[in-house]
Amino acid sequence: MSLQLPRKRTILAWHRWMGFASALFLLVLSVTGLLLNHTERLGLDDITIRNSMILDRYGMAAGNEITAYRIHESNTIAHLDGQLFYNGEPLIQASAPIDIIKDGITTVVATADALIYFTPDGQLIEKVSNSQLPYATLSAVGITARGKAVLVAESGAWTADENWLEFQKYDGGYNVIPMLQIELDDDAAQKILDNFQGGGVSLYRVLLDLHSGRLFGWGGRTLMDLSAVAIILLITSGIGGWLRKSRRSTAQPTN
């Protein structure tokens, strides 16, 4: 009898703390389940979440500032987190521009790992990676005295033909003039953010991922799984305790 009492107290304490620990997760499951069950009535698909913390969980939050440059007098090229934008519209995935070269009807955005060709109205023509170019990594773009662009790398310098299809080794002089950044107005910057984030995330998707724990990655899923296991143990142990108590009550002789 003396051994059973400490054991009973241990089981009761374990049962109590497990109940406290799983109560929050059970509340989250219940509330999100109720909301998801009435998705159409509540219009959860039509509500967009733009919170930076939520967007970050989906890889849609901008982690860096927008860098923008003037081109063709009134147009802009902007870069944000590995993506180029022309007048706020997505152009292509690319690293930050080293220089923008305006050569006839072709405009070339030179980055460390590629040359990107597009038309003056922002239509993408082609992206040429460094594996197709005579250098490994571009470090700068220079200008000759005659206004010819020079592609500068550690292994040397090159100039391109008028169609930017062939490249010749260049040993002459050139000057490197850094690009001038411009400040975008609030509307232009917001347009880029909207295009980068794709309009945000629907409340339905956030609630669904919160319900399953996926909103917090593998850690959230693991916690939800452990909470489900804890609730199962609580229910089974509670029913088991009630049955044992019921049997003892039934087995006791009546006067």
Q: Where are the beta strands (DSSP E) in 16-137?
A: 48-49, 67-71, 75-80, 83-86, 89-93, 97-103, 106-111, 114-118, 124-129
The answer to whether residue 213 is domain-embedded is: yes
Same domain for 76 and 136?
yes
The C-alpha angle with vertex 149 and arms to 146 and 154, in degrees rounded to 5, equals 125
Same domain for 73 and 91?
yes
Same domain for 158 and 188?
yes
141 vs 228: CA distance, rounded Å: 59
The answer to whether residue 1 is domain-embedded is: no
Structural domain including 179 reads 61-197
The answer to whether residue 2 is domain-embedded is: no
Same domain for 116 and 37?
no
Same domain for 106 and 180?
yes
Same domain for 67 and 193?
yes
Q: Report the largest interatomic distance among the alpha carbons of the chain, rounded to a whole angstrom.
A: 117
Same domain for 164 and 41?
no
Same domain for 174 and 73?
yes
The answer to whether residue 170 is domain-embedded is: yes
Same domain for 143 and 225?
no
The answer to whether residue 253 is domain-embedded is: no
Same domain for 73 and 109?
yes
Same domain for 98 and 209?
no
The answer to whether residue 10 is domain-embedded is: no
Same domain for 37 and 51?
yes
CA nearest to 91, candidates 69, 116, 66: 116
Q: What is the pLDDT along the chain (255 residues), one digit of tens a residue?
A: 444 556 656 656 666 666 666 677 777 778 888 888 888 888 888 777 777 777 777 666 666 689 999 987 888 999 988 899 999 998 898 999 999 998 767 889 999 999 999 887 788 899 999 999 999 999 999 999 988 999 999 999 999 998 888 999 999 999 998 889 999 998 998 888 888 876 667 788 888 888 877 777 777 777 777 777 777 777 777 676 676 666 666 666 555
The answer to whether residue 39 is domain-embedded is: yes
The answer to whether residue 89 is domain-embedded is: yes
Number of folded domains in the chain? 2
**First and final CA of the chain: distance in angstroms?**
24
